Amino acid sequence: MKSIRHESIAPTRTQWVAAGTDIDAHHHDDHQIIYAARGVLAITTDIGTWIAPATRAIWVPAGTVHAHHAHGALELRLVGLPATDNPLGLDAPTVLTVKPLLRELILAYTSDPDDDGAERNRLRAVLLDQLAASAQQTLHLPTPTDSRLKEICDILRANPSEQRTLAALGKEAGVSARTLSRLFTSDLGMTFPQWRTQLRLYQALVLLAEGVPVTTVAHRCGWSSASAFIDVFRQAYGHTPGRHRIGGAKA
């Protein structure tokens, strides 16, 4: 991250962001709920990347340095909350399930951010209740700190369809499969297959946001068939990739 911009308040607003746009590293004194009503949003910190399609939102705690990247044209709905108001009790970025009711609450609450009336305050209270009840999702791609592991992860990032085993990849990096397996667990908190699946799901969302056909996405991301890809995608996101249209998928 090049420079870090400080914003004292995380404002509640709607923001349109062109496809491929980067929003440089910054942080807020307040908490922020970031929801892409259209497009796919990626948020990156120094420990990893969180990605959210239109059925997910990302909770960013106060003070967290983060950057954004737009996959597809984004319609961002941003909800700022005082640092003292943490309905989720979370101190790290987290992906949250956005069911239809919560989606409509976010859209309604951000449609007129200057409204300070009693009705909107009641709307906010319901929104916070729904947030507190939202399921947390493990849609997080952690970033390695170990240089040996980083080399392996860079190979996979460059080609998510890479099919070589951990032992074969380790030979290229001069590291044993046993050491790499241990590093995946200790450095990234997940196994090699789990991390690779997360990477492939991440890349699948990116390609779908760009309008790439489902079968092509499956093969580019390393699945042996479209049906295998569809099964994994449904388990992760609650709907099939065929229903995943920009802003159109429902939780």
Ramachandran class of 22: left when φ > 0, alpha when ψ lies in -120 to 50, beta otherwise: beta
The tokens for 71 are 């996959």
For 69, the 3-state DSSP assignment is strand
- 91-117 mean pLDDT: 89
For 9, other C-beta atoms within 10 Å of its C-beta total 11
> What mean pLDDT comes out for the span 226-238?
91
pLDDT digits (tens, 9 = 90+) for 186-221: 999 999 999 999 999 999 988 988 889 999 999 999
Which domains are delineated in the chain?
Answer: 5-140 (2.60.120.280), 146-243 (1.10.10.60)
Give the largest Cα separation in the chain, rounded. Answer: 64
Q: Averaged over 131-160, what is the pLDDT?
A: 89
Residue burial 208-219, b: 16+ Cβ < 10 Å; e: rest: bbeeeebeebbe
* Better pLDDT: 245 or 73: 73
- Res 71 pLDDT > 50: yes
The answer to whether residue 139 scores a pLDDT higher than 80 is: no
**Full 3-state SS string of 202-249:** HHHHHHHHCCCCHHHHHHHCCCCCHHHHHHHHHHHHCCCHHHCCCCCC
What mean pLDDT do residues 94-101 have? Answer: 90
Residue 237 reports pLDDT greater than 90: no
At residue 3 the predicted structure's pLDDT band, cuts being 50, 70 and 90, is: low
pLDDT of residue 35: 94
Copy the structure tokens of residue 166: 């951990």
pLDDT value at residue 209? 85
**Residues present in the chain in total:** 251
Q: Evaluate whether 52 touches 139 at the Cβ level (below 8 Å).
A: yes
Residue 177 confidence class, pLDDT cut points 50, 70, 90: very high
What is the DSSP code string of 34-62? EEEEEEEEEEEETTEEEEE-TTEEEEE-T
Gap between the Cα atoms of 145 and 105, Å rounded: 39
Average pLDDT over residues 44-59: 89
Q: What is the pLDDT of residues 13-51, one digit of tens each?
A: 898 999 889 999 999 999 999 999 888 889 999 889 998
